[in-house]
Amino acid sequence: MSAHASTKERISGILTFLLLAFAFGVVSQRIVKVGMGPLPLGPGQIAPQISAGYVDGGQFELSGYQGNIVVLDFWATWCPPCVAAFPELNRLAKKYDAVGVRFIGVNQEPNSLPKVKRFLRKRKITFPSIIDPGDIARTFGVVSFPTTMLVDHQGVLRAVHRGAVSSERIEQDIKRLLTMKDKGNP
């Protein structure tokens, strides 16, 4: 009886293991497809030439910002750390606007334009945001939000911060890039 029960338990245990293995098996193709895709961009690489519509109308072209330092902030309204970072980013955008540093928000909600507009107006965000039609984050290899990227005056990606980052850190990067720009070399 005991041996019989034990066999039943073993079979039941194996079936439980098989459930997990099958579950992993059916999604493994998806994991491999995403995981073996193009590697995320890192510092030193040329920023891809992207274009998208501004939230308030008009067309954004990254190539049009050559000569400026561009801070790309990938964000969404449903991302609490993104929202928390806005006041400081707004402050930095105002502070460094005169020296040619441009902050661009890259919103991740292409189907919620009115909501995004209301959100930005309510929080008095002064720097512009563009709506990612779905391929900008993928092109830059952004998978978590917020992600902040700094592109130098020559269009080269110089810093990538995944997740929440302090305004001091961003300011440090901006100063470094401004120095590089003033010296006229990377």
Partner 1 sequence: MIARIGGIFLRPSQTLFSILRGNGGTMFDLLPWILVLPCALSPNRAGQALLYLRSDVMDGLQIYVSLIVSKLSTPVGAAMVGALVLSVVSRIKLRNDSTSVAQLWTFDRCFDACMYMLIPFFAASSLGIILESMGIAFKFLPHRPIRGQGIYLSIRLILAFGWPLALYMYLLNSMWHSTQTLEEEQ
Which residues, 6+ apart, have CB-to-CB distance to 11 below 8 Å? none
Does position 1 interact with partner 1 (CB under 8 A)? The reply is no
Query: Closest by alpha carbon to 165, among 42, 55, 101, 75?
Result: 75
> Measured from the CB of residue 2, what is the shortest distance to partner 1 in angstroms?
11
Q: For residues 141-170, which are near partner 1 according to CB under 8 A?
A: 141, 143-144, 162
> Measured from the CB of residue 143, what is the shortest distance to partner 1 in angstroms?
4
Q: How many helices (H) and strands (E) does the chain have?
A: 5, 7
Does position 186 interact with partner 1 (CB under 8 A)? The reply is no
Does position 84 interact with partner 1 (CB under 8 A)? The reply is no
Does position 27 interact with partner 1 (CB under 8 A)? The reply is yes
Query: Closest by alpha carbon to 130, among 155, 102, 151?
Result: 102
Count residues near partner 1 (CB under 8 A): 35
Nearer to partner 1, 14 or 99 (CB): 14
**What sign results for the dihedral spanned by CA atoms 110, 112, 117, 119?**
negative
> Measured from the CB of residue 145, what is the shortest distance to partner 1 in angstroms?
12
> Measured from the CB of residue 44, what is the shortest distance to partner 1 in angstroms?
12
Q: What is the largest CA-CA distance in the chain?
A: 85
CA dist., res. 182 & res. 99, Å (int): 11
Does position 23 interact with partner 1 (CB under 8 A)? The reply is yes
CA dist., res. 182 & res. 176, Å (int): 10
Q: Dihedrals φ, ψ of 100, to 5°?
A: 85, 25
The 42-81 contact track toward partner 1, x by CB under 8 A, reads x---------------------------------------
3-state secondary structure of 74: strand
Does position 17 interact with partner 1 (CB under 8 A)? The reply is yes
Chain contacts with partner 1 (rule: CB under 8 A):
5-6, 8-17, 19-20, 22-24, 26-28, 30-37, 39-40, 42, 141, 143-144, 162
